[in-house]
């Protein structure tokens, strides 16, 4: 069964899309089969994975509104190394249309169930809001990966996000949990960064990934070539950091999967 992680934070510009694309590429580099789902109508994760959002025949919009099968919309990005369920501006209409459709909160989950056996990981990139689309993602996922920039207002927004997670957990998806908190655009020379980082660890303990993502210009440049950093400049600090994150996530996933644990015979 695949592990479904949703990259969410209702704040914009914290590194959600960068994380979704580069984590997907790094997990794929560790020989995992990955599907990345672009749930933001801006389609940045789609473009950043080398898929032209202007040339889509089918997209997530058609899948969510029942106009096509999920298998008809998924495309393989050869350059990025993973499969993509792509998105374009049509998805904005889905927000409105979903309101009138039955099972409006579980449509993404139902669609992903049809293909999840094909993947080790499904990574979902969310829009910067706690909208019906984000709710669909949280209903479909097992864990929420929260990218955070360690700055003064970062912690403020976190409580609304955690309340949403708790609400979905009690009403719609009992298995949902915070998978991990990822410190992005990290600058250890900045004392505010290290202060907020310390606070995060005090509050969330080992939920905070030990991998930090540094501020790295390669991560910002790569999307304009439609490439993850790993394909654009594999020796860059950004690419290496996301590889380390993939390693950390693989280790966490394996240690929680009893089937993957070594069984000690009873004496």
Nearer to ligand ADP, 19 or 116 (CB): 19
Token reading at 43: 């389609």
Q: Which does 15 bind (CB under 5 to 8 A by kind): ligand ADP, Mg ion, none?
A: ligand ADP
Our finding on whether 81 is near ligand ADP (CB under 6 A) is no
Rounded Cα distance, 153 and 63, in Å: 36
The helices-and-strands tally (H runs, E runs) of the chain is 12, 8
Among 87, 184, 193, 211, binds ligand ADP (CB under 6 A): 184
Interface residue list for Mg ion (CB under 5 A): 16-17
Our finding on whether 225 is near ligand ADP (CB under 6 A) is no
- The site that binds ligand ADP (CB under 6 A) totals a number of residues, namely 17
What residues contact 50, with CB distance under 8 A and at least 6 apart? 77, 78, 79, 80, 226, 227
Rounded Cα distance, 149 and 7, in Å: 14
- Inter-residue contact 16 to 161 (CB < 8 Å): no
Rounded Cα distance, 190 and 90, in Å: 41
What residues contact 77, with CB distance under 8 A and at least 6 apart? 49, 50, 51, 83, 84
DSSP-derived secondary structure letter, 86: -
DSSP-derived secondary structure letter, 97: H
Helix, strand, coil shares of the chain as percentages rounded to 5? 50, 15, 35
The strand pairing partners of 35, in sequence order, are 83, 122
What residues contact 241, with CB distance under 8 A and at least 6 apart? 211, 212, 213, 214, 216
Nearer to ligand ADP, 97 or 151 (CB): 151
Cβ-closest position to Mg ion? 17
Q: Which does 219 bind (CB under 5 to 8 A by kind): Mg ion, ligand ADP, none?
A: ligand ADP
Q: Nearest approach, Cβ of 214 to ligand ADP (angstroms)?
A: 6
Q: Nearest approach, Cβ of 229 to ligand ADP (angstroms)?
A: 9
Nearer to Mg ion, 44 or 250 (CB): 44
Q: Which does 46 bind (CB under 5 to 8 A by kind): ligand ADP, Mg ion, none?
A: none
Nearer to Mg ion, 28 or 39 (CB): 39
DSSP-derived secondary structure letter, 263: P
Q: Nearest approach, Cβ of 145 to ligand ADP (angstroms)?
A: 12
Q: Between 91 and 120, how does the x/- string for binding to ligand ADP read (CB under 6 A)?
A: ------------------------------
Look at residue 32 and give its three-state secondary structure: coil
Q: Nearest approach, Cβ of 38 to ligand ADP (angstroms)?
A: 11
Our finding on whether 15 is near ligand ADP (CB under 6 A) is yes
Token reading at 123: 């990574």
Our finding on whether 158 is near ligand ADP (CB under 6 A) is no
Our finding on whether 128 is near ligand ADP (CB under 6 A) is yes
Among 12, 66, 163, 170, binds ligand ADP (CB under 6 A): 12
Q: Nearest approach, Cβ of 40 to ligand ADP (angstroms)?
A: 7
- Residues forming contacts to ligand ADP in the complex (CB under 6 A) are 12-18, 44, 128, 184-185, 213, 215-216, 219-220, 238
């Amino acid at each position: 069964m695949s592990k479904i992680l949703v990259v969410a934070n209702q704040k914009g510009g914290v590194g959600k899309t960068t994380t979704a694309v580069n984590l997907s590429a790094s997990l794929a580099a560790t020989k995992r089969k990955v599907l990345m789902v672009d749930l933001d109508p801006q389609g940045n994760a789609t473009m950043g994975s080398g898929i032209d959002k202007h040339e889509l025949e089918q997209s997530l919009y058609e899948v969510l509104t029942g106009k096509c099968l999920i298998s008809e919309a998924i495309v393989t990005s050869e350059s990025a190394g993973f499969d993509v369920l792509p998105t374009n501006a049509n998805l904005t209409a889905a927000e409105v249309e979903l309101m009138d459709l039955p099972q409006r909160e579980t449509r993404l989950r139902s669609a992903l169930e049809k293909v999840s056996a094909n993947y080790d990981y499904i990574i979902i990139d969310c829009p910067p809001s706690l909208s019906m689309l984000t709710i669909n993602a949280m209903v479909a996922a097992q864990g929420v990966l929260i990218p955070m920039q360690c700055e003064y207002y970062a912690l403020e927004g976190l409580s609304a996000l955690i309340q949403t997670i708790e609400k979905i957990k009690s009403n719609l998806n009992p298995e949902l949990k915070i998978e991990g908190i990822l410190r992005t655009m990290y600058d250890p020379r900045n004392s505010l960064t290290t202060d907020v980082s310390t606070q995060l660890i005090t509050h969330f303990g080992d939920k905070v990934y030990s991998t930090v993502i540094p501020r790295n210009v390669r991560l910002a440049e790569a999307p304009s070539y439609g490439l993850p950093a790993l394909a654009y400049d594999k020796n860059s600090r950004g690419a290496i950091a996301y590889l380390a994150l993939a390693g950390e996530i693989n280790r966490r996933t394996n240690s929680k999967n009893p089937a993957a644990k070594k069984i000690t015979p009873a004496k």
